[in-house]
């Protein structure tokens, strides 16, 4: 069955980044068709984001076996892009509760062939955890900062590194955190100059922003 899905195969040539598939909200039949096409060995690396565990579990066994699937980040890919010779990205998170966003960013970088490392549990409630890792973080070429609640880690990191910083507010938090809105407003009001802010929970977007830095090296 043809669902009329037209891939932007020329996107990589235009902007240095390939098209990905945002799975949330797509009909099951369309997802099955796409996943069948782009599995391991297809020669066409495609990243699938927001692919819920129950949806992936409902795919035929032959489809599931042809993908590297990561349930926490809800990402899947068959093949990856070739490893890049230059550029490394640090992914720094406030806490493991932000893991679904942190690992979406990390998995996107893995798919793009970009060297990276995840630094979890660096939140401002225990600044010594960040201080112990700061020297290593500053050896990377770009830094993604993932934080919920008041997203204070974004401003702190923005004041401690000269590297490009991309903040990702998450929907983690109680009450007035309002599903990430408080974190978003806080990050947008950051007193650290030159920090780029992504949309709530958009680890994929942060990885793509960092990839643009790496592509320019």
pLDDT, one tens digit per residue, over 160-211 is: 999 999 999 999 999 999 999 999 999 999 999 999 999 999 999 999 999 9
| DSSP annotation string for 55-118 | HHHTS-HHHHTTSEEETTTTEEESS-PPPPSS-EEEEEES-GGGHHHHHHHHHHHHHTT-EEEE
Give the model's confidence band at 44: pLDDT under 50 very low, under 70 low, under 90 confident, else very high. confident
Residue 131 CA to residue 115 CA, distance in Å, equals 22
The reported pTM is 0.92
| Angstrom distances, CA of residue 68 to CA of 6, 40, 55, 117 | 24, 8, 15, 19
pLDDT at residue 95 in the model:
93
Mean pLDDT score of the chain, rounded to an integer?
92
pLDDT at residue 142 in the model:
98
For domain 88-215, give the fold. Answer: Rossmann fold (3.40.50)
Domain residue ranges of the chain, discontinuous segments joined by +: 11-77, 88-215
Query: Which pLDDT tens digit goes with each residue over 16-40?
Result: 687 889 999 999 999 999 999 998 9
The CB density around residue 205, as the number of other CB atoms within 10 Å, is 18
């Amino acid at each position: 069955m043809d669902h009329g899905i037209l891939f932007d195969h020329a996107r990589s040539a235009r902007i240095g980044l390939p098209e990905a598939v945002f799975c949330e909200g797509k009909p099951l039949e369309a997802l099955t068709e796409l996943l069948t096409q782009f599995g391991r060995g297809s020669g066409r690396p495609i990243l699938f984001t927001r692919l819920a565990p129950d949806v992936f579990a409902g795919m035929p066994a032959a489809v599931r076996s042809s993908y590297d699937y990561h349930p926490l980040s809800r990402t899947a890919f068959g093949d990856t892009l070739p490893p890049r010779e230059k550029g490394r990205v640090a992914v720094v998170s406030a806490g493991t509760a932000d893991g679904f966003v942190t690992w979406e960013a990390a998995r996107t970088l893995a798919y793009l062939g970009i060297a990276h490392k995840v630094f979890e549990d660096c939140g401002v409630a225990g600044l010594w955890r960040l201080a112990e890792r700061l020297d290593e973080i500053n050896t990377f070429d770009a830094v993604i900062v993932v934080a919920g609640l008041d997203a204070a880690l974004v401003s702190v990191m923005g004041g401690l590194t000269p590297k490009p910083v991309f903040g990702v507010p998450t929907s983690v938090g109680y009450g007035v955190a309002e599903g990430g809105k408080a974190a978003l407003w806080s990050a947008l009001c950051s007193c650290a100059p030159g920090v780029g802010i992504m949309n709530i929970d958009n680890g994929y977007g942060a990885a793509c922003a960092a990839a643009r830095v790496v592509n320019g090296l």
